[in-house]
Structure 1
Amino acid sequence: MGDTDAQDLKGGHAPALKVGGMRVVQKAPREDKSESPVKPTDEEIEEFGEDKKEKNADIVVSGAKMGVEEAFPKAAIQAFHEKPVPTHQMGASNKPKIIQQPCKK
């Protein structure tokens, strides 16, 4: 059995499956390994303490603490991201454009 399995392998893989002269892809579906976060036991909480989430809502600007919304107002950010609008429109030229080309002879 081990010899026949080794002979059927092509480059370490089983040969391609053909149906009607065309190769058919057979990929195994991916397994989701989404594990839920492990909660610490009571003994670990007593020994190490609880994890506290840090708040990064305050920003220091010029030595003074400010909130994110105060430091970066929405109007300033919007003005920074918008494309500048032209102040005046260029007038259309009434002159015909002359393209100098050689004559046909």
Structure 2
Amino acid sequence: MTSWPDFTAVLEEKLNLLPEPVEISSIKQFEDTLEALNLAVELTINKHVPETRQSPFTKRWWTKDLSSLRKTAVTLARTVNRHKSNMDHPSHKSYRLARNAYSKKI
């Protein structure tokens, strides 16, 4: 939703207002330069990047780790299904462990 041409134009204007670049020779000079640069970027973002609200339907507790665990459990479930007649197949134990790890994280 951001108009990038407008964003870059305003950012360019704000950066042109900053003093010409010079070799930084002290920590104070570095911090002042960094603060001025951050302020220019922050003001541009506040002006041109619209704020979004999180959907009420999102699962805020869901993580990438849970996605990975679920994918592993589902893949192993398919393997177990292929070997359902052989209960001694190692995939059954792997699936139980993966399913338990996923269940504990939820």
Bucket of the pairwise TM-score, normalised by the shorter protein: under 0.3
Q: Calculate the TM-score normalised by the size of structure 1.
A: 0.23
Q: Identify, as 1 or 2, the structure richer in strand.
A: 1
TM-score by length of 2: 0.23
Larger Rg belongs to: 1
The higher-RCO structure (CA 8 Å, 6+ apart) is: 2
